[in-house]
Structure 1
């Protein structure tokens, strides 16, 4: 009798849980949703998040706001999101560095991205462009490689900080081509300051996302040497891909939306569906095109698959560089 009663209790509990989950899906959201961005206001990820927030606000019939928490390569924002309830009302605009690289870059990170976050939806991926200052005197990537091999360590390259994608991307370029260049991390305003340093010829090489480089390349203030990806950028039709040049340089630059682990599956599914729909809207297509991003329609599970993939590939690279803090 006791066994039957216990079984009945389990059945009723499971039924209650399913009912609660169903009710959660039907009622969510009942209050404002927050998207936490680990970059400052006005940055590329920030404008991407604000466009998404506007679209989601309309489709969910609820306010969606963006909160900027920059610093420490995204760890401040990540730790904040983890400190909030796992209810789907605090989301994190997480990039590959936040999800795949930081666990290798920081010995005392304070969280484990693959365990503490659950994927909601991937958003987009960015290519990378290697560019140089005109004063360096090279116009093609083979010319840069030849110069760097002739004078190992003389040429310097800029990045937006140790462990930043601009740092790791150029280190991978060095590894793939066998060249040596001196790394100069540029602090302060991040990417734009690094690009300014390149244009001035102080640190004449950089590998970074194209959104900040294309106008400068078109104006002749920088020279584009190569771009990642399967095809040339429409905005830079004369700049070849690394693959065209016979160099295997695959650099992930994806953004995603994640939530704290234990967020109800029904809420995650609802958000995933709405974000995938948002990627098809004219507003989001315009935003992505303006930043030269490629949309990624995904399932929630795809985010953690991407996280593990890029952690496995880049963990050994970070270890070899000896840059863990």
Structure 2
């Protein structure tokens, strides 16, 4: 190779190194990637994770295998991830509770989210809806507040477990409205089912978790979180419209073990952001009433820090611990 050819080759290599997916991380992945989900198969989180895994697998020409490891509000799954090499081949499908709530819920949490994990990409955020059993016979959220204030401590509410976002969301509602209720925790989707069987009359849940029951007239939606009404529930007012500051984060993100090469993190981030623009994936987000969140890896840390600072004091004030 003469000097002119050598210079041309060097220039071409420099250009290639600046292109997405080209350069140091170009060999990733060369084998299957695991996406660890801290919920059981068939849950809303699992459905979203599998849709993401399918799209990433197509882009990478490598299988992305979803592994379900439920238990202890994500702690078991995270411990598993931390036991794997920090090479990007084991990713964790995190929710806000795993990264922002758990440090305040567990006195002896076996991991530190900010030190043991590194943000890869934000995915989406879910609005919450306050639902009531038809048997309660309330037509508006104001009706419920009046009823609850007239019967302090007599009305129970369901959740997906102690410290679960559905639990904390309702505790915030109680605090903001000045009502007192009894908490009845369930595992997984059991909370919504309990409303229909008459065990508990009210609950806060992500919209996707109860929308089929709302459509079937088995649950009555009374208020939603967010700055605007949900297109799927146009007649349901926001808490803000009703004069209550009830903002509940319901976001999902992808994280990896700390120490994962920055080049791999950047590549996976870019590929996930492209998936978020994919029309088919957008449609799946819509089916689950999720709003996509695009951004650099640092967005995960920003969201985590924001909600830890907001919800840490609330969890301490309510004296919730696991």
Query: TM-score by structure 1 length?
Result: 0.91
Q: Which residue of 2 aligns with 1:161?
A: 161
C-alpha distance in 1 between matches for 2:145 and 2:272 = 42
Are 1:319 and 2:319 matched, yes or no?
Answer: no
Q: Which residue of 1 aligns with 2:262?
A: 265
Q: Which residue of 2 aligns with 1:114?
A: 114
Are 1:196 and 2:197 matched, yes or no?
Answer: no
C-alpha distance in 2 between matches for 1:59 and 1:214 = 32
**Is the 1:136–1:201 Cα contact (8 Å) retained in structure 2?**
no
C-alpha distance in 2 between matches for 1:48 and 1:284 = 9
- Work out the number of aligned pairs and report it: 302
Q: Which residue of 1 aligns with 2:102?
A: 102
C-alpha distance in 1 between matches for 2:78 and 2:300 = 16
**Is the 2:44–2:209 Cα contact (8 Å) retained in structure 1?**
no
**The 10-residue stretch of structure 1 (215-224 or 40-49) with the greater mean CA deviation from structure 2:** 215-224
C-alpha distance in 2 between matches for 1:104 and 1:307 = 13
- Corresponding residue SS for 1:36: strand
Structure 1 consecutive aligned stretches of length 4 or more whose deviation exceeds 6 Å: none
Q: Which residue of 1 aligns with 2:71?
A: 71
Q: Which residue of 290, 294, 304 corresponds with 1:297? A: 294
C-alpha distance in 1 between matches for 2:252 and 2:298 = 14
**Shift in Å, 1:212:** 2.4
**Is the 2:93–2:254 Cα contact (8 Å) retained in structure 1?**
yes
C-alpha distance in 2 between matches for 1:272 and 1:317 = 32
**Shift in Å, 1:23:** 6.0
**Shift in Å, 1:26:** 2.1
C-alpha distance in 2 between matches for 1:273 and 1:39 = 26
Mark the runs of 5 or more structure 1 residues left unpaired by the alignment.
1-17
**The 10-residue stretch of structure 1 (196-205 or 300-309) with the greater mean CA deviation from structure 2:** 196-205
Q: Which residue of 216, 228, 231 corresponds with 1:231? A: 228
Are 1:35 and 2:35 matched, yes or no?
Answer: yes
Kindly provide the CA deviation profile for residues 193-248 of structure 1, in whole angstroms up to 9, marking residues without a partner as x.
Answer: 11111122221000000112122112211110000011111111111111111111
- Corresponding residue SS for 2:39: coil
Mark the runs of 5 or more structure 2 residues left unpaired by the alignment.
1-16
Q: Which residue of 253, 257, 264 corresponds with 1:256? A: 253
Are 1:213 and 2:202 matched, yes or no?
Answer: no
Q: Which residue of 2 aligns with 1:177?
A: 177
C-alpha distance in 1 between matches for 2:54 and 2:215 = 32
Q: Which residue of 2 aligns with 1:124?
A: 124
**Is the 1:51–1:283 Cα contact (8 Å) retained in structure 2?**
no
Q: Which residue of 1 aligns with 2:56?
A: 56
- Corresponding residue SS for 1:54: helix
Q: Which residue of 1 aligns with 2:46?
A: 46
